[in-house]
Amino acid sequence: MKHLREKFLENSYERLMKIRSADVCKFIEKYAELCNPRNIYVNIGTPEDIEYIRKKAIEDGEEIKLKMEGHTVHFDGYYDQARDRKNTKFLLPAGVDYGKYIEWIERDEGLIEIHELMKDIMKDKILYVCFYMLGPANSEFSIPCIQLTDSAYVVHSENILYRQGYEEFLKERKKFTFFKFIHSAGELDERKTSKNIDKRRVYIDLLDNTVYSINTQYGGNSIGLKKLSLRLAIYKASKEGWLAEHMLIIGINGPKKRVTYFTGAFPSLCGKTSTAMMPDERLIGDDIAYLRSKKGKIYAVNIEKGMFGIIEGINPSDDPLIHKGLTTPGDVIFSNVLMSEDGEVYWVGSGRDCPEKGINYSGEWYKGKKDEKGKDIPPSHPNARFTISLRAFENLDPKFEDPNGVPIEGIVYGGRDSDTWVPVEEAFNWVHGIITKGACLESEPTAAVLEATSQREFNPMSNLDFLSVTIGRYIKMYLDFGKKLRKKPKIFSVNYFLRDKDGKFLNEKVDKKVWYKWMELRVNNEVDAIKTPTGYIPKYEDLKRLFKKVLNKDYKEEDYVKQFTIRIPEQLRKIERMMEIYKEIKDTPEVLFDVLQRQRRRLLKLQRKKGDYISPFELYEINVFQGTKKSFN
């Protein structure tokens, strides 16, 4: 390391030398030599460091100051606006095959390629060495991390999103496991965006707990501790018997000051952040959760302390808490929105009038601007984002920093589904829920991935893009995890995107609050439910009462019927789709096929008796279920 000493800025060398771990120093030395930066800055998270990074991001042109104090805007390249599925790959040892649903490359081949592309990639730049923690301080959940990057924007983002971890690296220990991330934006164009997109690569080495990300700036590809760390954590969890999930954590306030905690898995642009931010409820986290079994119950933590959220559609009416945070002075980064001439930002769905012109991810923008294919360029990208501290939100739960996590009583799965799932439904039991709600999750595609198509996408537990184990093994992890639980959380599905035949949504955005209030009552055994072939649904009278109490809305019987009709043809088609997919996955647990076949038989039996589409009121005469101990076979 001494031969690199002249490259270290200020007291950075001394900061690094305080760390006694040889593995840490070797890692940093190896990639400092390979990437060959002009200088090295060691960020340990002091207030001076944080301010230095903010200023460098602006000075280097990666961010632009806005009119409001503390606010900046960042632009990614026009073709660098989402996760790159095609070039995000796991490095697997020879003979290991994860199947067609997970991108991978042979490890030796991938390492050779990525190291060749990284040679001198940071020339004439500063290498920032950063130390973070995934999770609260002094917690069994937490994992220390090192981020190496030449992007002040990435460091600025991670300073907002993650807890500083330098002190953890100073501790003396014999065995020290940490996650490693190396990122370079690569050569930049005149707009300070990544130039060599054809050489964009995101490679994950599971054997060495290392992620390589180059020639990209979009946060989902470049912010190492975001979804890149989730991939490493899933693999680690698979070996240690816990779960690393793409999940929100929220506390729902119940009667008599009771708080019931839920996790929820939703693909991007499917309502996950807006659910986590429901007014008058308790925010723990909106994106990534670690789940562990302790004394027979599930406990969960949010590994982040900030939010990297999709901004489209956020307005003071639908998302008042987020909107307030984004319009208050403080440390906020906007990305790929429209910056007006007076230094303010606009995004689609903000509830404001769009400026005639400005600057966005396409450069100079004006109304009517088109791309090379003649398609209108919107003022803000559909995947435009904001980065903000959770402490900016007044609904942050006091237990957010609890190192023990919060007890989870319910798990929720939801995606974009226009015609099959009802708005809210409870699974019969843990196995039924994991398989029919989680493992069979599908979603109509969104702008968060580059290769999105018009077809409904298979996305088990909303985690497919991040799985670092085979799909079959992942499902078995859940089933095995459930066996350790003395008290299993109830499992639910939700669907905010159900439409009628004319394409009109059958739910309003705010209705989700009622679904969660009903789930909170179900978890605490305070309301009955109607048994259907696919799970338990609410009774009309309970929803009518909740709509009035929670939203002061009159809930009509005709709306209940439209929303909670049992759609048997669509349900049967879904089962067939899932059976075909899982038949191709070699290590699928046999119980999955058994559970789906039994659900199919129940649907066919009801179809013969009642027809294709059954009003929930018709099921009243069959059975109103009052307990939760019987299984539905």
Which residues participate in catalysis according to the annotation? 270
* Closest CA relative to residue 451, chosen from 79, 30, 43: 79
List, in sequence order, every residue forming a beta bridge with 129; answer none if it has no partner: 42, 148
Rounded distance, CA 389 to CA 466, Å?
24
Phi, psi torsion values for 135, nearest 5 degrees: 110, 170
For 298, half-sphere exposure in the C-beta direction (CA atoms, 13 angstrom radius) is 28
85 to 104, 183, 197, 267: CA distances (angstroms): 11, 17, 14, 14
**CA-CA-CA-CA torsion for 373, 376, 378, 381, nearest 10 degrees?**
-20
Tell me, what amino acid is at 475? I
**What stretches of 62-175 show up as alpha helix (H) in DSSP?**
107-118, 152-161, 166-170
Q: Does an H or E element contain 567, and which?
A: strand 566-567
In the block, residue with structure tokens 């670092």: 468
- Residue 70's region, left for phi above 0, alpha for psi from -120 to 50, else beta, is left
Query: Residue 13, Cα to own-chain centre: how many angstroms?
Result: 36
| Cβ–Cβ under 8 Å, residues 63 and 73 | yes
User: What does the DSSP assignment read for 317-363?
Assistant: TT-HHHHHHHTSSSSEEEESSEEPTTS-EE-TTSSSPPPSEEEETTE
Total residues belonging to the chain: 633
- What DSSP line would sit under 529-550, residue for residue? EEEETTEEE--HHHHHHHIIII
SS3 category, 52: helix
Name, in order, each residue with C-beta under 8 angstroms of 116's C-beta and a sequence gap of 6 or more: none
HSE-CB of 125 using CA atoms within 13 angstroms: 26
The dihedral of CA 616, 622, 623, 629: what is its sign? negative
In terms of DSSP H, where are the helices of 272-332?
Answer: 272-276, 320-326
